[in-house]
Amino acid sequence: MDKLAESEQQLLEKIRQLPQEKLVEVEDFVDFLMQRAQKVLQRSVWDQEITAMADDPDIQTELAAINTEFAVTEMDGLADS
């Protein structure tokens, strides 16, 4: 039996020994952990998508055009706040 299967088996045995009212708490905790893991995964996907967008030549070209267009307004003589 591999380590993961062994750990799973030990965890299941411990859960089976709990009183019925504690099973609800275990289930709530597992749900919480799954939601947190999902948020981390979503954040990771978001970061990957933003990185890909930043590396996209079309987006870089568009950003350069925007910067050029707004360069004139940056020379308005107003100090940065």
Supply the pTM of this predicted model: 0.52
By the 8 A CB rule, do 45 and 53 touch? no
Tens digits of pLDDT across the chain (81 residues): 699 899 999 999 999 999 999 999 999 999 999 999 999 989 999 999 999 999 999 999 999 999 888 887 777 666 665
By the 8 A CB rule, do 26 and 15 touch? yes
How high is the pLDDT of residue 77? 66
List, for residues 18-33, the tens digit of each pLDDT value: 999 999 999 999 999 9
* CA 33/CA 45 separation, integer angstroms: 18
To the nearest 10 degrees (0 to 180), the angle between helices 57-74 and 20-55 is: 70
How high is the pLDDT of residue 34? 95
Which tokens in the block code for residue 47? 């970061």
